[in-house]
Structure 1
Amino acid sequence: MTHAVFRLRSERLARSLKPFVARGSRAPRCPRCRVFLSHCLCAWQPQVESRSAMCLIMHDVEALKPSNTGWLIADLVEDTYAFNWQRTAVDPRLLELLADPRWQPYVVFPAEYAAPGRVVADARPGPGKRPLFILLDATWTEARKMFRKSPYLEGLPVLSLQPEQLSRYRLRRSKRDDHLCTAEVAALCLELAGDERAGEALDAWLDLFSERYLGAKHHRPVDEGNQTHMALKPFLD
């Protein structure tokens, strides 16, 4: 099965002039979950439904990185769309999505970077529309540039999250613990929009991905009876 980020990765690879080599790439990885085959987690992928949709605008090589968590969002949220960000051009499919009357788009970004009139706290649109959360999938420095230099986002409401927990993501670290990874942000958006079960499943899926990814890196055996695995049990078929 493929999804939006898988397809974007394939498109990005097709445009590359030289192979993308990830750290630790000598060991074979599962093409579906991107973890070393010894620690593949595909059998544990949760199945949930959500009314919300996700639009991932991904900076350059993000879709190629095995540690990227936008991939996890696409695993769980059926209506996930993914686009490569470019400074001087915009994918026409992205513009079509933003103009689709089925959706109410929200750019998820800190309020301090947006005009006060654009900032909203509610993510439950009126009748006839479903929430479409636009996530800028990049490093924090890159995301700020993307937010400033994407004119097609300027007229959209900005949803500013106030997470109560520190980031649990352990694969790539921000200098600030309150900077969440993309999957953590998506889980908070789902909960805010009333898709609590999907948000809980995504949090649990991120935790297992992180555990298996690091377990493979440090040659730790898989323990399918531990708390991380048990947290996913309610979301399996």
Structure 2
Amino acid sequence: MPHAVARLRDARLARSAKPFIARGSRTARCVRCRVASSHCFCDWLPCVPTHSAVCLIMHDIEPLKPSNTGWLIADIVADTYAFTWNRTEVEPALLELLADPRYQPVVVFPGEYAEPERVVSAVEVADDKRPLFVLLDATWTEARKMFRKSPYLNRLPVLSLQAEVLSRYRLRRSTRSEHLCTAEVAALCLGLAGDEQGAGALDNWLDAFTDHYLAAKHHRTPDPDDATHQALAALGRG
């Protein structure tokens, strides 16, 4: 069964009045991994258990972009939910998820944009609940707007990550190297929640995706014996 982001992409395409033309749209891509068919890396998809859950609130066209990394989170984290952000409306299913007693939701966003009393730096979850990381999947400018204009998030704590790493993501450019892509943020969250194996799998899955994506673009063959591929192979296949 397709995961949440794939289903959101299909729903977005179904209601489109005109086709979405992405960069490199003439390239024949694998429907499953979105990389050029000649460089498909589906066979490397690992299968790891994760206790945490992820809720992706995605800007309108994010699910359509081949370079979107929220898709990679859904590949690794079985309990990933995905919703399209709308300034004037909110999907009832999203509100139901945020109120689900199984989960303890927390919005992941820089603390400087939230009231100090909402900001936390660690994952503290009751014994009978699981962490639900709410990620705003968009460009930085869009994400700030989404954070300000989503009142249903105001009651949730804000997890402010103190990342001491620079982004490794090479498919989209940011003016600030400390701006992590959505998958990198999710991997840090998994690590904080004790899902170390899931965090490592997601980091390696992102690296493999980037490697195969760029290899197709530059007409080279990825090395199946490098550290990233070997780490994925050691996890077992999905």
Look up the match of 2:20. Answer: 20
Looking at structure 1, the residues matched to 104 and 214 of structure 2 have their Cα atoms a distance apart, in angstroms, of 37
Looking at structure 1, the residues matched to 100 and 136 of structure 2 have their Cα atoms a distance apart, in angstroms, of 20
| Structure 1 residue 4 corresponds to structure 2 residue 4 | yes
| Structure 1 residue 201 corresponds to structure 2 residue 195 | no
Look up the match of 2:213. Answer: 213
Please give the per-residue CA displacement for 1:73-132, whole angstroms capped at 9, x wherever unaligned: 000100000000000000110000001111100000000000000011221301111000
Look up the match of 1:51. Answer: 51
Look up the match of 1:91. Answer: 91
1:53-202 to structure 2, matched below 5 A, reads: 53-202=53-202
Partner SS state of residue 231, structure 1: helix
- Alpha-carbon deviation of 1:229? 1.2
Look up the match of 2:229. Answer: 229
Partner SS state of residue 233, structure 1: helix
Note the residue ranges of structure 1 that are not aligned, 5 or more in a row.
Answer: none
Partner SS state of residue 187, structure 2: helix
Letter matched to residue 178 of structure 2: D
- Alpha-carbon deviation of 1:63? 0.3
TM-score, length-scaled by structure 2: 0.98
Q: Kindly, what percent of the aligned residue pairs are identical?
A: 70
Looking at structure 2, the residues matched to 10 and 207 of structure 1 have their Cα atoms a distance apart, in angstroms, of 25
Letter matched to residue 168 of structure 1: R
The structure 1 segments of at least 4 consecutive aligned residues displaced by more than 3 Å after TM superposition are none
Bigger Cα displacement from structure 2, 226-235 vs 194-203: 226-235
CA RMSD of aligned residues (A): 0.8
Partner SS state of residue 219, structure 2: coil
Partner SS state of residue 232, structure 1: helix
- Alpha-carbon deviation of 1:230? 1.5
Please give the per-residue CA displacement for 1:16-54, whole angstroms capped at 9, x wherever unaligned: 100111111112100000000010000000110111000
TM-score, length-scaled by structure 1: 0.98
Note the residue ranges of structure 2 that are not aligned, 5 or more in a row.
Answer: none
Letter matched to residue 209 of structure 1: F
Looking at structure 2, the residues matched to 59 and 197 of structure 1 have their Cα atoms a distance apart, in angstroms, of 29
Partner SS state of residue 54, structure 1: strand
Partner SS state of residue 90, structure 1: coil
